[in-house]
Amino acid sequence: VGGNLARRLERDPEFEYVAGLDTRKPAASLERTELIDADIRSPVISKLIPQAEVDTVVHNQIVRRAGPGMSARAMHDINVIGSLQLLAACEKSDTIRTIVIRGSAGVYGAEPHAPQFFNEEMTRMFPLRTRFQRDVGEIENYFETYSRRHPDVTCMMLRYQPAIGPSLDTQIPRYLSLPVVPTYFGFDPRIQLVHEDDALDALAAAVKSPVRGAVNVAGDGTIGLTRMVRLAGRPTLPVVGPLFGATAGVAKRLGMLDFSEDFQRLLRYGRGVDTTRLVEEVGFQPRYSTAEAVQDYAAKIGGRRLAPALRHVVAR
């Protein structure tokens, strides 16, 4: 996403200078973005960032799922220590006016007793149960402290619902491309997603018109998990609760998908967020609703469907 965001921003004449900071080379081809090869966890960035004399910092490096060969420890380091280093670097700069962090709606958790739509004030409603939730919670706390110390800097925390799109390699698309999709037996939670295009556009919109505080990012409406899987044309495998962990273990061992604890809770209880702030204060209306995002994904990946032949003939 970082590379795509840079490409989006460098096309916009409003931005004079765009720099990208990463340890890896971006997949997107960039024209005028200056690439800085540095690790967010190292204190070096507190020299680099003030030197660049930028006015906006976008922190897009919160890892939601440990990649291959990445330990839970490394994920924690990147998320928490990395964000801390970044904020420390921002302390040293006096040109910065805006900091945007791409966070996660996972901080609300997935709870059976939760209101159907979390608004931005509801982070304290339930205990932070998983490691990822605690990490994001910690980042949010540091960010809040920073924001209090620097009233002249607009600090914006974007809380993203999971993204879906044919070009993404994130949990939901991976989950939907399993040959058989495991679900919790007797549970069909409401899932809310953001289309990959909207995810990027929302980030760009946030950079252009930032608002203070947290903002939820998601498509309109929700979709039942079963309906989502059916739209993607996949057979489901209902697994009783106590055995789900073991099933997830098998999927992980086969290298298909690492069901994080957060993701497992999401598949059981679901989560919806209220996007009033995004639409009214940031002024960004997602183009795809949750259901449309799934339909778009299904149309683009194609794939084998189970029922169309039946339906086709019956309709005749």
Partner 1 sequence: MTREARTAPDGGPGFADDNGRGRSQGPAAGMGAAVAFMRLMREGLESGVELPEALARGAAGLPREARDRVSAAARRLDGDYQEDEWGFDEEFADLVEPVFDFLYDTWWRVTPTGVHNVPSHGRALLVSNHAGILPWDGTMIAMSILREHPLPRHPRFLVLNWAFDLPWISVILRKVGGVVASPFNALRLLEQDKLVAVFPEGVKGAGKDFKDRYRLQRFGRGGFVEIALRTGAPLVPVAVVGSEEIYPKIGELPLISKLIGAPYFPVTPTFPLLGPLGTIPLPSRWRIEFCEPIDTSGYGPEAADDRGLVFELSERVRETIQQKVYENLVERGPAFL
Does 310 interact with partner 1 (rule: CB under 8 A)?
A: yes
Whether the Cβ atoms of residue 59 and residue 207 lie closer than 8 Å to each other: no
> 77, 138, 188, 292: which one contacts partner 1 (CB under 8 A)?
188
Site string for partner 1, 131-170 (x = CB under 8 A): ----------------------------------------
Output the smallest distance, CB 232 to partner 1, in A.
Answer: 8
Contact assessment for residue 17 and residue 54, using Cβ atoms and an 8 Å cutoff: yes
Does 185 sit near partner 1 (CB under 8 A)? Answer: yes
Closer to partner 1 by Cβ: residue 125 or 250: 125
User: Which residue in 184, 244, 259, 297 binds partner 1 (CB under 8 A)?
Assistant: 184
Smallest distance from partner 1 to CB 19, Å: 39
Rg (CA), the chain: 20
Among 41, 230, 265, 277, binds partner 1 (CB under 8 A): 230
Residue 273 CB, shortest distance to partner 1, in Å, is: 11
For partner 1 (CB under 8 A), the number of binding residues is 44
Under the binding rule (CB under 8 A), the answer on residue 214 touching partner 1 is no
Of 206 and 291, which has the nearer Cβ to partner 1? Answer: 291
Choosing from 72, 237, 299, 307, the residue that interacts with partner 1 (CB under 8 A) is 307
Tell me the closest approach of the beta carbon of residue 309 to partner 1, in angstroms.
4
Question: Where along the sequence are the contacts to partner 1 (CB under 8 A)?
Answer: 112-117, 119, 122, 184-188, 190, 220-224, 226-233, 241, 269, 272, 274, 291, 305-316
